[in-house]
Amino acid sequence: MQFQELNLSKDILKAIIEHGYTSPTPIQQQSIPAILNGGDLLAAAQTGTGKTAGFTLPVLQRLLESPLQQTSRRRQVRALILTPTRELAAQVHASVLTYGKHTPLKSTVIFGGVGANPQIKAIQSGIDILVATPGRLLDLMGQGAISLNQIEILVLDEADRMLDMGFLRDIKKILAALPKQRQNLLFSATFSSEIKALANDLLNSPALIEVARSNSTNDAITQVIHPVDRGSKHPLLAHLIKSNQWQQVLVFTRTKHGANKLVLQLEKDGISAMAIHGNKSQTARTKALADFKAGKIITLVATDIAARGIDIDQLPHVVNYDLPNVPEDYVHRIGRTGRAGSNGVAVSLVCVDEHVMLKDIERLIKQTLPREVIAGFEPDPHAVAQPIQLRSQQAPQRHAQARHSAAAPKGANQTKRSGQKKPSGESTAAPKKTHRKNPSQKPTKPLGSFTSKPKNV
Ligand code: AMP
């Protein structure tokens, strides 16, 4: 299928061609016609599938098509795109700018951690599309700096992460300020009972789109496990980067402290590195990401939430310095590489403490990953496992209960209209599993019952 067959305006097609896309990805083939139809949409899609263009292109097209119903003289926001993180907001807005550059539509992005005044000015200059994180949007709504009563289209991007990060209450407050008559598009990688409840409240007879199994890994990614001793992970990583002359590596650590420590160690080895996590200022996060994308630093060390949605074209290497607490995060992490047709390598450094985690991951992805011991870094066969310090000791437990993935049968690529308000039948996989320090320790709170952001990621 070609983009030309999708009823997009020539101004949008021109931008797509200039951006170098030749054909729509599977999710775009389904989401673009579904959104242009004007109905609500529930899409099971992860980053890496092309979902951003999957909603941005038809949102631009619909705004171009529908006449302005504005009552006031100033342009008011007609499409609102909510994202969980600042980085994702910035990336989504970059897509809006890219695909909309030949159209007269105006847009801006707002998020916390930076001054509000330029954002208020941008909004008040009159915009059609607003990309926002929930917290800053509520702040500006509270100050009366923005009116949402002309919203025609609402997009919730990575809705599962928004709930994981405790944004449910904020989202509900925002929804209450929107006009009742509007188009709603909900994108989520997984479907917990909270997401289903939100979809149920929000969506009216949504079209359902599911692209591939959410827990399958991409064949374009070569995965390998390097067994190693706990204390040798850092020298092994430095060895891999140097001996293979890796130029751009995204490294995941379990904790913010671990990320900071690793950056210092790598710098001592002469390997440029920066960390990106929730304790870093927005300026530091933006700079780290920009320097990494521009090739100024070789290593970006990230925690899971900070890295969510980071979109780097053709990122060649992802390293799991620590395995993730939640098996599904393995799939999310390694999905940063091997995107949209390019090849990638995902390396995991696994010590004796993480063998149970590795088994859980392999069970989830239904693959046994190849083990390759690196000469000089052979693990001690007599090493004894120690308990892993989970990052969420004080923080709310993510993925705590009955978290279901939006698994469709392998290879399923279908669009169907549910014909009823309640979207059903999209969740068939086993509940998500967390690696717990003590197997008898039960999660204390159901997902979504907390209201603050996780503190320790
Ligand atoms: P997303 O899932 O939106 O984060 O997009 C993942 C990556 O796919 C991004 O790097 C996009 O630039 C790229 N991409 C999106 N749509 C296409 C397309 N139709 N052809 C090639 N690459 C694409």
Q: Write the pLDDT tens digit of every residue in 331-353.
A: 878 876 665 555 678 899 999 99
- Which tens digits make up the pLDDT trace of 368-382? 888 999 999 999 988
Residue 426: what pLDDT?
Answer: 27
Distance 299 CA to ligand 1 centre (A): 23
**292 touches 312 (CB < 8 A):** yes
Q: Rounded to whole angstroms, how far apart are CA atoms 212 and 71?
A: 43
Measured in angstroms, how far is the CA atom of residue 339 from the centroid of ligand 1?
7
- The SS3 call for residue 31 is helix
Contact 325, 202 (CB under 8 A): no
For ligand 1, is residue 83 a contact (CB within 6 Å)? no
Write b or e for each residue in 97-109: b if 16 or more Cβ atoms lie within 10 A of its Cβ, otherwise e: bebbeebebbbbb
Residue 431, classed as helix, strand or coil, is: strand
DSSP string, 32-95: HHHHHTT--EEEE--TTSSHHHHHHHHHHHHHHHSPP---SSS----EEEE-SSHHHHHHHHHH
Q: Is the CB of 332 under 6 A from ligand 1?
A: no
**If you take atom 14 of ligand 1, which residue's CA is the nearest one?**
50
Closest-CA residue, ligand 1 atom 17, reads 50
**One-letter amino acid of 388:** I
Output the CA torsion 142→147→153→155 (10° steps).
-20
Collapsing DSSP to helix, strand or coil, 397 comes out as coil
Q: Is the CB of 50 under 6 A from ligand 1?
A: yes
The pLDDT score that the predictor gives to residue 392 is 41
To test the ligand 1 pocket, which listed residue (2, 12, 17, 21) has its Cβ within 8 A of the most ligand atoms?
21
Cβ 337 under 6 angstroms from ligand 1: no
Pocket flag, ligand 1, residue 21 (CB < 6 Å): yes
β-sheet bridge partners, residue 415: 209
Any alpha helices (H) in 177-228, and if so which ranges? 193-202
Q: Which residues contact 279 (CB under 8 A, 6 or more apart)?
A: 256
Per domain, the residue ranges of the chain are 3-210, 221-365
Helix (H, G, I), strand (E, B) or coil at 250: strand
Cα separation, 332 vs 410, in Å, equals: 18
Quick check: do 3-210 and 221-365 share a fold?
yes
Q: What is the pLDDT along the chain (457 residues), one digit of tens a residue?
A: 899 999 999 999 999 999 888 889 889 999 999 999 999 999 988 777 889 999 999 999 999 998 665 555 668 899 999 999 988 999 999 999 999 999 999 999 999 989 999 999 999 999 999 999 999 999 999 999 999 999 999 999 999 889 888 899 999 999 999 999 999 999 998 777 888 889 999 999 999 888 754 445 556 678 899 999 999 999 999 999 999 999 999 999 999 999 999 999 999 999 999 998 878 887 888 888 889 988 899 999 998 766 665 666 667 889 999 998 888 888 878 876 665 555 678 899 999 999 999 999 998 888 888 899 999 999 998 888 888 765 443 333 333 333 333 333 333 333 343 333 333 332 323 333 444 444 333 333 222 222 233 333 3
Tokens 């080895």 label which residue? 269
- The per-residue pLDDT for 74 is 66
Question: Is the Cβ atom of 340 under 6 angstroms away from ligand 1?
Answer: yes
Query: In whole angstroms, what is the distance from residue 163 CA to residue 36 CA?
Result: 27
Q: Read off φ and ψ for residue 252, nearest 5 degrees.
A: -105, 130
Say if residues 77 and 148 touch (Cβ distance below 8 Å). Answer: yes
Angle at 79 (CA atoms; ends 78, 84), nearest 5 degrees? 145
Q: What CATH number labels 221-365?
A: 3.40.50.300
CA distance 345 to 347: 6
To the question of pTM greater than 0.85 for the whole model, the response is no
Rounded to whole angstroms, how far apart are CA atoms 208 and 416? 5
Atom of ligand 1 minimally distant from the CA of 45? 2
Query: Which CATH number is correct for 3-210, 1.20.120.720, 3.40.50.300, 1.20.1250.20, 3.20.20.70?
Result: 3.40.50.300
DSSP bridge pairs for 417: 207
Collapsed DSSP state (helix, strand, coil) of residue 124: helix
Task: Using the mean position of ligand 1's atoms as its centre, give its distance from the Cα of residue 287 in Å.
Answer: 23
